[in-house]
Structure 1
Amino acid sequence: MIAGTIWRIALLAVAMLAIGLQLDRQTRRTPELSPSVPELMRSSAQTGVAAFAVAGDDPEYGLQEAERLIRRRPLPAEHLRILAQAQFDAGLLSESTLTIQYAAQRGWREPLAQETMLRLALQAGDEAEAARRFVALFVRRDTADGLLQELGSQVLAEPGGVGRQTFVSILSGAERWHSQFFTRGVRVLSSEAFSEILIDAMEGGTEFECSDLRSAVERLAPRDVAAAERVEGAIDRRC
């Protein structure tokens, strides 16, 4: 009798644990379920709980949940970004700045961290670092064109400057996103910056598809005839 009762309690405990773990896993797709996961079973769910807490009206609660997230899952850059926001909201400005730097170092694809580091680099006059952060945002397909236009006008403003030369250096060694540079660069970079970066990369020995180069000229010409002609002259020497 007692053994049977213990067995049923054990089965119930295992079932509850399995349900909790499955619910925690489901929060990766449905973050709204995060608060429903028992606190002791939260792993993935803690990300949603912390994010909702930080977005709320209680900075101290947001900081508490963000710190709990870091204790449980310290590696993802996104989690550090959540903690940085919580620290900022709680008035811990120096701690927030340090945390966002760690986030940017850990995850080059974490957009808010990259934008923050870019703006800090601009304030510090570090054009090369700002350009590297700009490229990290540029290659993300979900980065808004408007943001890239705003930041690009600052990072790549100087003709022949460090920002543009850093962009050229990265472009030359990243063949996998050449096509993205052509399609997106024409949209979000100034025609003068786009043409200079492209020409400098070509003259530095970077190999581009001639069809991509011709298409870029066609898209650039309506915006800036002179820039298109400069690029076309460089293309004629290569294709």
Structure 2
Amino acid sequence: MADTEVAVEEAQTQVGLRPMPAESLTVLALASLQAGDAETARKGLEAASQRGWREPISQLASAQSALEQGAYPVASQRIVALLSTGNLREPALGMLAELITIPRGREIMAARIAGPGRWQVSTITQAQKFVDPNDWAATLALASRKGATLPCAPLQLLQTRTEREGEAESAEVLTFVVERSC
């Protein structure tokens, strides 16, 4: 029996456990993909992303798929799940950058930023490395207008860095956000 067949069989055994852990579904998806069964892999990742928001591989795959399909609420939810856990942070920030270039995506992400959570604190400054400064400033301003309570220190640091890097327009928008939040 080939290694890929053994991997699929073992993953199917894991999926049969109750309660079914998201990690087992991800293992099944990866084994199926290696065995050339893309349909089972897709279904496994979809199920894993719905069962466990802490399972990073399925969240990343789900976010990318949702982004490609224009399902921006789902994409933002999965991106936030990744940012909340700190898993696969760079790809998550890359998808955040892509999402907020789309007006509807920006609107949805601003609403998520305005919601509860601790992920925003580290994301505010870390996103600067991945996200266009104007897009990020506009998203934070929109979140602020939606009632976001954003942490002062990261906002001030972002505003100072943006100004120092010569992004005058973004720095001006961030000054507005700092004034509203601090």
Q: Secondary structure at the match of 1:108?
A: coil
1:151 maps to 2:78: no
Q: CA RMSD in A?
A: 2.2
Per the alignment, do residues 127 and 63 of structure 1 end up closer, same or farther by CA in structure 2, a change over 3 Å counting?
A: same
Gaps of 5+ in 1: 1-56
Runs of 4+ in 1 over 6 A off after TM superposition: none
Compare relative contact order (CA 8 Å, sep 6+) and give the higher one, 1 or 2: 2
| Residue type of the alignment partner of 1:210 | C
Per the alignment, do residues 238 and 67 of structure 1 end up closer, same or farther by CA in structure 2, a change over 3 Å counting?
A: closer
Per the alignment, do residues 226 and 119 of structure 1 end up closer, same or farther by CA in structure 2, a change over 3 Å counting?
A: same
CA displacement, residues 6-26 of structure 1 (integer Å, 9 cap, x when unaligned): xxxxxxxxxxxxxxxxxxxxx
1:91 maps to 2:27: no
In the other structure, the counterpart of 1:102 is 47
How many pairs does the alignment contain?
A: 180
Per the alignment, do residues 84 and 111 of structure 1 end up closer, same or farther by CA in structure 2, a change over 3 Å counting?
A: same
1:198 maps to 2:143: no
Tell whether the 8 Å contact from 2:80 to 2:119 is kept in structure 1 after alignment.
Answer: no
CA–CA separation in structure 2 for the residues paired with 1:206 and 1:144? 22
- The within-5 A match list for 1:59-208 is 59-72=4-17, 74-145=19-90, 147-158=91-102, 161-208=103-150
Tell whether the 8 Å contact from 1:131 to 1:164 is kept in structure 2 after alignment.
Answer: no
| Residue type of the alignment partner of 2:41 | S
CA displacement, residues 75-115 of structure 1 (integer Å, 9 cap, x when unaligned): 22111100111122222222221111110001112111011
CA–CA separation in structure 2 for the residues paired with 1:70 and 1:108? 17
Per the alignment, do residues 95 and 183 of structure 1 end up closer, same or farther by CA in structure 2, a change over 3 Å counting?
A: same
Gaps of 5+ in 2: none
CA–CA separation in structure 2 for the residues paired with 1:235 and 1:154? 24
Identity of aligned residues (%): 27
1:233 maps to 2:176: yes
Tell whether the 8 Å contact from 2:94 to 2:131 is kept in structure 1 after alignment.
Answer: no
Query: TM-score normalized by structure 1?
Result: 0.67
Query: TM-score normalized by structure 2?
Result: 0.86
CA displacement, residues 133-184 of structure 1 (integer Å, 9 cap, x when unaligned): 2222222324242x234323322222xx121111111111124333223232
